[in-house]
Amino acid sequence: MTNATDAVRVLRVWQTPTNPVAYRCPQGHGVLGLFSDREADTGLILACAACSHRVPVDAATVDRAAAAADTPPTMAFGAEEIPAGHGSWRGQLDNGLVRTHGWLLVGNRPVSSGLLSAIGGFLVSLGFLAGNALWPVLTTALGYGLWKLTVVRLRPASRVRNHSLITARELVEGDFVRRYGQIGPVARVESATPWTDGLIAVHFTGGGQARWEPTRQVWVAELLD
């Protein structure tokens, strides 16, 4: 059996439409996709994106693909060896979610919470501290400064923008998605696998999981810090 990196590489090469002996869906949906799956013994599974057909990946499956790719066998692998991607976002929480700010949207563009805090500080000066020309400047700076202290030190949060809207069946490992709609925290997809009940079983970094309808629309997000 190959190591984790080689196993993923050779299986992806093996599972191509040009390979006549690649594992395919018996319902005619084509070549099965390769996914990471926490519930599989090896941490990998071949699954159809259009139906619930699944083929567990075992040592023999990997060895067969490795032999075809002329990859020398080395050592056994585990799911934990598969690269997990970026994990040092400012708003990263212990449960895997990434706390974000900028929850007010105009269309699909987030409005900076810092801007709103600065405007709030300015309005305070107009309503309660009239009579000194310096108050608007000071309260505006104070509003922005308190916001910056909060999102960097007190309750760290990341900047984020929505990138594209896709369906749950299109999710792949490594996607960062809005966990609860168009705004709110972001989670990294570890696996998105068609399940026997017709739903997509989505596992997130940190242990979170969800079962979504294949047609459910999900916002793919881009974390900025």
Percent pLDDT > 90 in the chain is 15
Q: 74 and 9 in one domain?
A: yes
Instruction: Report pLDDT for 218.
Output: 95
Structure-token pair, residue 112:
């900076």
Instruction: Report pLDDT for 68.
Output: 64
**Unique residue bearing structure tokens 């084509």:** 30
Domain end position, chosen among 25, 48, 81? 81
Q: 55 and 13 in one domain?
A: yes
Q: 121 and 184 in one domain?
A: no
Residue 97 in domain: no
Task: Please check the confidence at residue 8 and state whether its pLDDT lies above 80.
Answer: no
Task: Please check the confidence at residue 17 and state whether its pLDDT lies above 80.
Answer: no
Q: Give the helix ranges, DSSP H, for the chain.
A: 4-14, 59-68, 113-128, 134-149
Higher pLDDT: 38 or 212? It is: 212
Instruction: Report pLDDT for 79.
Output: 35
Residue 95 in domain: no
Closest to 161 measured CA to CA, from 92, 219, 110, 85? 110
pLDDT tens profile 74-124: 323 333 333 333 446 889 888 889 999 877 777 767 777 888 888 888 888
Q: Give how many domains the chain has, as a whole number.
A: 3
In angstroms, the Cα distances linking 14 to 44, 50, 62 are 14, 20, 10
Domain containing residue 51: 4-81
Read off the pLDDT of each residue in 190-204 and give the average, rounded to a whole number.
Answer: 83
User: Are residues 179 and 219 in contact, defined by beta-carbon separation less than 8 angstroms?
Assistant: no
pLDDT tens profile 124-179: 888 776 667 788 888 889 998 998 899 889 999 998 888 889 999 888 877 899 99
Residue 37 in domain: yes
Task: Please check the confidence at residue 186 and state whether its pLDDT lies above 90.
Answer: yes
d(CA 147, CA 157): 11
Residue 99 in domain: no
Q: 165 and 139 in one domain?
A: no
Closest to 41 measured CA to CA, from 61, 23, 66, 58? 58
Give the dihedral of Cα atoms 14, 19, 22, 27; nearest 10 deg.
140
Residue 86 in domain: no
Read off the pLDDT of each residue in 48-68 and give the average, rounded to a whole number.
Answer: 78
Predicted TM-score (pTM) above 0.75: no
**Unique residue bearing structure tokens 């949207």:** 105
d(CA 206, CA 62): 27
Q: 8 and 55 in one domain?
A: yes
Instruction: Report pLDDT for 4.
Output: 58
Contacts of 143-148 spanning 24+ positions with Cβ under 8 A: 143/117, 143/118, 143/119, 144/114, 144/117, 144/118, 146/117, 147/113, 147/114, 147/117, 147/118, 148/114
Residue 89 in domain: no
For the chain, the average pLDDT equals: 78
Q: pLDDT grade, residue 223 (50/70/90)?
A: confident
CB atoms within 10 A of CB 144: 21
Instruction: Report pLDDT for 41.
Output: 73
Instruction: Report pLDDT for 87.
Output: 45
Residue 108 in domain: yes
User: Are residues 221 and 162 in contact, defined by beta-carbon separation less than 8 angstroms?
Assistant: yes
